[in-house]
Amino acid sequence: MSRLGKLRVAVIGAGAAGLCAARHLLSRPETFAAPVVYELTKHVGGTWVYEEKVGCYDNGLPIQSSMYRDLRTNIPKEVMSFPDFPFEERLPSFVHHTEVRKYLDNYCNHFGVRDHIKFETMVDHVKPVKMKGGWNGMAWDVTTSDGIDHSKATTDRFDAVLVCNGHFFDPYIPAISGLGKFTGTLMHSHDYRSAEPFTGKSVVVLGAGLSGLDIAMELSNINAQVILSHGQRPLACPLPRGVQQAPPVTKVLDDGTLEFRDGTKANPDVFLFCTGYNFTFPFLDKQVGLKVRDHLVFPLYKFLMPPAYPSLFIVGVCRAICPFPHFHIQSQFILSVLDGTFALPSREEMEKDIERDTASRRAQGVATRHILKIDSEQWAYNDELARLGGFQPLPRYWHSLYESNKVFRARDMLNYKNYNYTVLSETDWKVQDGQGQMLQNPLP
């Protein structure tokens, strides 16, 4: 791992993940040159930069953000934040999305990241090259353009690349037979902005992830008739007024009628897909061999780097996680890999580790599309990375507060965002409901 001078690192994207990566790289000037952060838009914040329009920006590039007008966070600010940068005290636990954007702007300024961002710059190609004396014997050529005129491209060389391009912008639309025969309005939650246009309409919402649930609630408030169609066990908690459940839509009949798995039918005005997103890394050279299949990105050691190219890091591919703290932990682990604090195993050992991990998930009955949903395992993952990288783990209340919020959400999706949490110590916290009643911690 011999090398000359400081390590040069490129960061793709200035959303929460890219800002966090840059913040940590900047904290270690003795080892790392100031990073170069490439950002397609004029803004930092990614997902949290609300755009009323759908489709494309004035410059013709597709709108990335899937944010909608009235969205509030679904994770209390006490554990949604980066651990080294709390949200403002005056704010309630569940904030409007505009507050998250301000928060990320403040984080960016506080840690001096802004000067290192190249705005309105699109990464078109990331290619590994052999280089004597480079980190692990190699380097990366990163080609960028203004995103519109790709002929004005420039290429720069780096020791490592951190991919932080987000993964909630390319709509996933399941293959449903006869879909083209549907005559009503077909849309995906990526293009949903507010409920008013649906007033008085009948809507089939497909998918009961957090988008499906939250949007069904918004539609209920304006008296739309909603069928929430999904493949999970029927939800047991109180549902919003006017919302019924149904099994998944399995086909569209010749006359445009939707048929559910149990044979029942519906003819809604709108068929709204809340079916999630595809991962996409269009700029990665094929040679890297990173594959995406059925919502799984592989092979990635510790869900981060391809064993054959351990100076490439795909940040934040795990799902059902607490994103900002996850980025905080992954970023520091990446630094520990690059500076050698964590001695990287051999390629073969990393490949075996991935196989073992995947096999054990499959043995528990986890479907391929859910392998990256690490959910409650995120806490062990975070702690392991902190131990391997030799840095501070998350404070201990993080885990129990976050998991308790999940319980409250499952019990009472209509009201859990009105609760306020207070952290009392490294281990303790308390919570009040919307009426100011103290609630019992739901977990042992």
Ligand X SMILES: *[C@@H]1O[C@H](CO)[C@@H](O)[C@H](O)[C@H]1NC(C)=O
Ligand Y SMILES: NC(=O)c1ccc[n+]([C@@H]2O[C@H](COP(=O)([O-])OP(=O)(O)OC[C@H]3O[C@@H](n4cnc5c(N)ncnc54)[C@H](OP(=O)(O)O)[C@@H]3O)[C@@H](O)[C@H]2O)c1
As a whole number of angstroms, the distance between CA 61 and CA 172 comes to: 19
Told to check if 430 binds ligand X by CB under 6 A, we report no
- The CA distance from 54 to 186, in Å, is 14
Q: 103: how many CB neighbours lie within 10 A of its CB? A: 24
Q: How far apart are CA 95 and CA 370, in angstroms?
A: 28
Min dist CB 7 to ligand Y, Å, is 31
Q: What is the CA radius of gyration of the chain?
A: 23
In angstroms, give the least distance from the CB of 273 to ligand FAD: 14
180 touching ligand X, by CB under 6 A: no
User: Which distant-in-sequence residues (6+ apart) come within 8 Å of 164 by Cβ?
Assistant: 11, 12, 13, 14, 15, 17, 18, 21, 315, 316, 327
Three-state DSSP class for residue 265: strand
Please tell me whether residue 388 binds ligand X under the rule CB under 6 A: no
Q: Residues 9, 140, 165, 219: which binds ligand FAD (CB under 6 A)?
A: 165
Nearest-approach distance from CB 435 to ligand X, in angstroms: 7
Contact window for ligand FAD (CB under 6 A) among 158-166, 289-297, 349-357, 407-415? 158-166
Dihedral angle computed from the Cα positions of residues 50, 38, 164 and 393, in that order, rounded to the nearest 10 degrees: -100
- Closer to ligand FAD by CB, 158 or 182: give it: 158
Segments of 35-121 assigned E as strands: 36-38, 117-118
Among 12, 63, 126, 274, binds ligand FAD (CB under 6 A): 12
The verdict on 13 binding ligand FAD (CB under 6 A) reads yes
CA 322 to chain centre: 9
Under 8 Å between Cβ of 67 and 73:
no
Give the binding range for ligand X (CB under 6 A) out of 112-120, 137-145, 198-206, 429-437.
Answer: 429-437
**Alpha-carbon dihedral of residues 326, 327, 328, 333, nearest 10 degrees?**
90
Size of the site for ligand FAD (CB under 6 A): 32
The minimum distance between CB 99 and ligand X, in angstroms, equals: 11
**What's the number of CA atoms in the CB half-sphere (13 Å) around residue 174?**
18
Binding site for ligand Y (CB under 6 A): 71, 73-74, 168, 174, 189, 206-212, 214, 230-231, 248, 274-276, 369
Q: Using CB atoms, what's the residue nearest to ligand Y?
A: 209
Residues numbered 256-285 forming contacts with ligand FAD, rule: CB under 6 A: 283
Find the shortest distance in angstroms from Cβ 38 to ligand FAD.
Answer: 5
Q: Is 243 helix (H, G, I), strand (E, B) or coil?
A: strand
Which of ligand X, ligand Y, ligand FAD, none interacts with 12 (beta carbon under 5 to 8 A by kind)?
Answer: ligand FAD
Partner from ligand FAD, ligand X, ligand Y, none contacting 92, C-beta within 5 to 8 A by type: ligand X
Rounded to whole angstroms, how far apart are CA atoms 47 and 15? Answer: 7
User: Quick one: which of 8, 9, 25, 38 contacts ligand FAD (CB under 6 A)?
Assistant: 38
Binding residues among 307-366 for ligand FAD as defined by CB under 6 A: 316, 323-324
Minimum distance of ligand X from residue 23's CB (angstroms): 27
Q: Rule CB under 6 A: which residues touch ligand FAD?
A: 12-18, 38-41, 46-48, 64, 66-67, 71, 73-75, 80, 122-123, 164-166, 168, 283, 316, 323-324
